[in-house]
Structure 1
Amino acid sequence: MESNRKTLITPLLLFAAASCLWGLYAGLYDPSFNNYLSQVHNIDEVARGALEFPRELPGFLCAFIFSLFMFLADTRIAALMSLLLALSLWGQGFLAPNMSMVVLWMLMWSTGAHVYMVVKSSIALRLADKGREGKLMGDLGALEALGLLLGMTLVYFGVSYANFSFPVIFGLAGTFTFIAALLLYGIKAERVSKAKPKLLLKRKYGLFYLINMIFGARKQVFLTFAPWVLIKIFHCGVESFALLGIIATLIGLVFRPLLGRAIDAWGERKVLSIDAILVTSLCILYAFAQDIFSDSIALIIIMSCFVADQVLFAITMARVTYLNRIVDSSADLAPSISMGITLDHGVSMTVPFLGGLLWAGLGYQAVFIAAGILGLLSLVVARFIPPSEPQEEQGKPDGRVSDIHS
């Protein structure tokens, strides 16, 4: 009986369950965080923008932080980061009476989340059968998306009908990541050879780096101030963000496969150009919807923009497929991606504070007008991407990376 149980509880099953639990945590935490800052700590737009500096700092230092834990097996690092996340979520829910403690727990949370993102792909690739790595990563992504949907659904009904408080939401999210830590610890640790994380800066990849920096600025405007508009201007609650998140996730399940085919068929130049045009259009709607339409219609338009932008974040994969197409060798790929992420987070740490000052001085419309200018800049930059060549003409196999999350 015991041997049958061990056969059923495989390392892959444990990791798959942990992936679903990470989705559950994100489904609880992501729709709630901005409302928590607004309702519990009553911060203004300048403080909200400034908070992104400590929140993004671990992402900027991720390669260095990860190197500190390289004496551990990858599953042990993942378990430790899950535990760190659980402690930070519990702390934020029950031990954050002031903003100093919020920043402390946020730093812990961000460290755990960013380092886990580094190791989860390597674990998946190691556990996959040879030749089936892509299928396994897709299946694990689907499980995480399922957990995300379940978490957002729990938040929606919990807040709407059971009066869930923020301590309850964060407490549940922390419990899910704690269980994930136990599952990951249950995977037998295997010493694997790990190259020291590196950052690579080459002039040839300059366009890739620039695209990452512009994306980092655009990303933080929407992650920080798009929900802030819905909270401060239209008074949307946690349940509204949970519902919008559910809609965006369901659309994303259909959109992502279509996006991958579009990149293959049209190339990164056209896909990133279309993305830039759409993002610029969203910025215009964010800035002027309330001036042009009634408040009820403007709310629907801005909610639609919020969902659309969440879906469009998937286009980040086009940045990586472009890099994959131009690298001198496969050895350049990972360190160049790391450099791109570092530059992305470097911009992400500063732009929100400037955006908060812009909002305080000129109104939220000015923030999205500035973001629209960034959208136009990204369109110009995208036009410098050389057109894709047929795969057989490139003379190298398709080693395409499916996606990255920063």
Structure 2
Amino acid sequence: MTNQLKSVRRDFTLLLLASICTGIYGGLYDPIFNNFLSDTYQIGEALRGALEFPRELPGFLTVFISGLLIALPDTRIAFLALLALAASLFGFGLWAPGLGVAVFWMLTWSVGAHLYMAVYNSIGMNLAEPGQTGQRMGLLGSANTTASLLGYLLIWWGFKYAGMTYQASFLLAGSAVLAAAVCLLLMRPLRPAKPRRAFVYRREYRLYYLLSVLFGARKQIFLTFGPWVLIKLFHQPAATFAVLGLVGTVLGIFFRYALGIAIDRLGERKIIFWESVLLVVICLSYGFARFIFPAGTALQVIYACFIADQLLFACLLARSTYLHKILQKPEDLTPTLAMGVSVDHAVSMSVPVLGGLLWEAAGFQYVFLVAALIAMVNCAVALYIPAHAPIKQAAARAAN
């Protein structure tokens, strides 16, 4: 085994450990955040939607923030991103006396989370062998999902039986992120073979940008208003979200890994198309189950939709692997992923604001009707993805 291969495997192991730590953080943070806002600051639908603008603004600025850090290797950028993410979680746990301070911590969280999102996939794909990108990324996603089980279990047990507080949950989540940051710090600070540009926009990537815009709109509707339906209309506590997270996580362990293999074998076109078809069904069920079924049955339908949507979020991987296959230059990967995050958030900043106003003016069901229309557009766009992506050409470009 060559020294280079040993180094690659060591770095992949460290990235795998970082994925496990961030999985624990996600299991602690995801099920409590919306309940934390509702219980602590007693906000309504319009304000909840409006809060997504400052929370998602750093996501829009990701391409510029990563550009400022262009001289640093991806692993060091990821390390700094996780430090910012940990700082925000400790801030929520130690000092968030009013909504204004909470918004500051949201901004800090967003800087770290979105910057890490942009470089994490780049690091993982650069550590994968040609033709096995989906499988390697699926393995990382599966490890992350498995680890989140611990976080969800702690939230479920803590809030249901042990009197756990939001503050303690944030502090534990921050500690897990710090551990992930240490893993990134121990990785080799590899730089691309050729200097990369801070900003990349190529006509050849326009379909990837469009997919990112549509994903941003669809994603933010569910992240913001999916939990809000259960909290405000069905009065569900944090422990319920922990249980839903547990179920989704157990299924996701197998789903993520299988998804990675399916992407390699079937291609991104089929994955993204059928993801969009399922999303249309989920959106319509989310919006109208309450009017079609008795209350108890409607709640079960919403539970199922919540879990199904949680699983389908993993299909974001197909967009990243599609980009990896069509790269014109290897050094385009990180800045183009950052551009994808930015165009994603150009939409996701405004969608929750409009969604909150639509909810209050007409009803929550219309928010999800709009989401269904977005999913239908995504179906049509997916058909423009080549049925057989040029894996060999991408690998050849990367080798040059």
Instruction: Please name the residue that 1:254 is paired with.
Output: 254
User: Which residue type is aligned with residue 114 of structure 1?
Assistant: H
Alignment of 1:7-406 (within 5 A): 16-70=16-70, 75-120=75-120, 140-182=140-182, 184-185=184-185, 187=186, 190=189, 192=191, 195-388=195-388, 396=393
Q: CA deviation at 1:30?
A: 0.9
User: Which residue type is aligned with residue 361 of structure 1?
Assistant: A
Alpha-carbon separation, structure 1, partners of 2:334 and 2:12: 24
User: Which residue type is aligned with residue 317 of structure 1?
Assistant: L
User: Which residue type is aligned with residue 358 of structure 2?
Assistant: L
The more displaced of 264-273 and 313-322 is: 264-273
Alpha-carbon separation, structure 2, partners of 1:53 and 1:300: 31
- What secondary structure, in the 3-state scheme, does the structure 2 residue paired with 1:223 have? helix
Q: CA deviation at 1:138?
A: 5.6
User: Which residue type is aligned with residue 202 of structure 1?
Assistant: R
Describe the shift of the 1:33–1:400 C-alpha distance in structure 2 as closer, same or farther (beyond 3 A). Answer: farther
Alpha-carbon separation, structure 1, partners of 2:355 and 2:295: 24
Check conservation: 1:324, 1:400, Cα contact below 8 A. no
The more displaced of 52-61 and 353-362 is: 52-61
Instruction: Please name the residue that 2:6 is paired with.
Output: none
The more displaced of 377-386 and 87-96 is: 377-386
Alpha-carbon separation, structure 2, partners of 1:225 and 1:357: 12
User: Which residue type is aligned with residue 112 of structure 2?
Assistant: G
Q: If you compute each CA radius of gyration, which structure gives the higher value, 1 or 2?
A: 1
Check conservation: 1:77, 1:116, Cα contact below 8 A. yes
Q: CA deviation at 1:71?
A: 5.2
Describe the shift of the 1:380–1:166 C-alpha distance in structure 2 as closer, same or farther (beyond 3 A). Answer: same
Q: CA deviation at 1:66?
A: 2.6
The more displaced of 65-74 and 286-295 is: 65-74
Describe the shift of the 1:40–1:399 C-alpha distance in structure 2 as closer, same or farther (beyond 3 A). Answer: farther
User: Which residue type is aligned with residue 275 of structure 2?
Assistant: D
Check conservation: 1:198, 1:338, Cα contact below 8 A. no
- What secondary structure, in the 3-state scheme, does the structure 1 residue paired with 2:388 have? coil
Describe the shift of the 1:238–1:379 C-alpha distance in structure 2 as closer, same or farther (beyond 3 A). Answer: same
Gaps of 5+ in 1: 1-9, 402-406
Check conservation: 2:130, 2:395, Cα contact below 8 A. no
Instruction: Please name the residue that 2:5 is paired with.
Output: none
Q: Give the root-mean-square deviation of aligned CA atoms.
A: 3.1
- What secondary structure, in the 3-state scheme, does the structure 2 residue paired with 1:396 have? helix
User: Which residue type is aligned with residue 65 of structure 1?
Assistant: I
Check conservation: 2:248, 2:311, Cα contact below 8 A. yes
Q: CA deviation at 1:52?
A: 1.2
Alpha-carbon separation, structure 2, partners of 1:284 and 1:19: 33
Q: CA deviation at 1:360?
A: 0.7
Alpha-carbon separation, structure 1, partners of 2:364 and 2:57: 25
What is the TM-score when the length of structure 2 is the normalising length? 0.85
Alpha-carbon separation, structure 2, partners of 1:277 and 1:73: 38
Q: CA deviation at 1:366?
A: 0.9
Alpha-carbon separation, structure 2, partners of 1:273 and 1:136: 22
Check conservation: 1:321, 1:400, Cα contact below 8 A. no
Deviations 1:134-166 (A, max 9, x none): 687665544433321111111111111101111
Deviations 1:340-397 (A, max 9, x none): 22211111111110000000101101101111111222222223334337x6xx7625
Describe the shift of the 1:119–1:153 C-alpha distance in structure 2 as closer, same or farther (beyond 3 A). Answer: same
Check conservation: 2:59, 2:114, Cα contact below 8 A. yes
Deviations 1:61-98 (A, max 9, x none): 11322333455565554444333222211211231121
Q: CA deviation at 1:204?
A: 3.8
Describe the shift of the 1:334–1:99 C-alpha distance in structure 2 as closer, same or farther (beyond 3 A). Answer: same
Alpha-carbon separation, structure 1, partners of 2:298 and 2:359: 19
Check conservation: 1:272, 1:382, Cα contact below 8 A. yes
User: Which residue type is aligned with residue 43 of structure 1?
Assistant: I
Q: Paired residues, what number?
A: 387
User: Which residue type is aligned with residue 52 of structure 2?
Assistant: E
Q: CA deviation at 1:334?
A: 4.2
What is the TM-score when the length of structure 1 is the normalising length? 0.84
Alpha-carbon separation, structure 2, partners of 1:74 and 1:381: 31
Gaps of 5+ in 2: 1-9
Check conservation: 1:22, 1:144, Cα contact below 8 A. yes
Alpha-carbon separation, structure 2, partners of 1:310 and 1:400: 35
Identity percentage over the alignment? 45
The more displaced of 262-271 and 301-310 is: 262-271
